[in-house]
Amino acid sequence: MTLQEAYSLFESLKKETTKKSEIKIYEKFLHILSELKNREFSIDEIQSIESELDSLNFEPNRSNNKRDLNKRLKAFKEYLKNKHSLITVGYYTNVGVSMGAAFGIVAGVVFGERFEKSLGLALGISIGMLIGAIIGRSMDAKAKSEGRMI
């Protein structure tokens, strides 16, 4: 399946459905595909992307429920990240916030002994998420300047 064929398929699937959750997923696919069409790839890279689209097995008459579509979208994003070093907007910010929250819990438990435990946890999570968001935003900006963001 070529990029243009996949784009046309998702446009038609988007027009056919009335479920907002499915429409959002189709719009995400359409955004990624339009960004990929605007990029310059080698012939091998294009064939690799098209074979990945084939392996995701999108058929017009297949039932596309939200869970199945999300799995395929996640798999396609992972493929683009691993094989072509392409990330979506806000990828590092999301990772940074989640990692910051995880480390913030640990810091909140350690430093919470000096304060009330719940206050220590709340401060640890808050500060960890803030630091993670700042680091993630800077990494997103770097990826954008390198042209790796779709």
| Domain identity same for 52 and 117 | no
Domain that holds residue 67: 3-84
Q: How far apart are CA 69 and CA 22, in angstroms?
A: 8
Q: Is 108 inside any structural domain? A: yes
User: CA torsion, points 35, 37, 41, 44, in degrees to nearest 10?
Assistant: 120
Number of domains the chain contains: 2
Cα within 13 Å of Cα(71), Cβ side = 9
| Domain identity same for 39 and 62 | yes
Question: How would you write the pLDDT of the chain (150 residues) with one tens digit per residue?
Answer: 888 888 998 898 888 888 898 899 999 999 999 999 888 888 999 999 999 988 888 776 566 678 888 898 999 999 999 999 999 989 999 999 999 999 999 988 888 777 777 888 888 999 999 999 999 999 999 999 998 998
- pLDDT the model gives residue 120: 84
The SS3 call for residue 113 is: coil
The two three-digit tokens of residue 138, written as one number: 């800077």
Q: Is 150 inside any structural domain? A: no
Q: How far apart are CA 91 and CA 100, in angstroms?
A: 14
| Domain identity same for 13 and 66 | yes
Radius of gyration of the chain, Cα coordinates, nearest whole angstrom: 20
- pLDDT the model gives residue 64: 66
- pLDDT the model gives residue 86: 92
pTM tops 0.85: no
Q: How far apart are CA 94 and CA 109, in angstroms?
A: 23
- Identity of the amino acid at 96: G
| Domain identity same for 79 and 28 | yes
User: Using N-to-C axis directions, what is the helix angle for 43-55 and 3-16, rounded to 10°?
Assistant: 40
- pLDDT the model gives residue 146: 92
Q: How far apart are CA 128 and CA 122, in angstroms?
A: 10
| Domain identity same for 130 and 111 | yes
Q: Is 101 inside any structural domain? A: yes
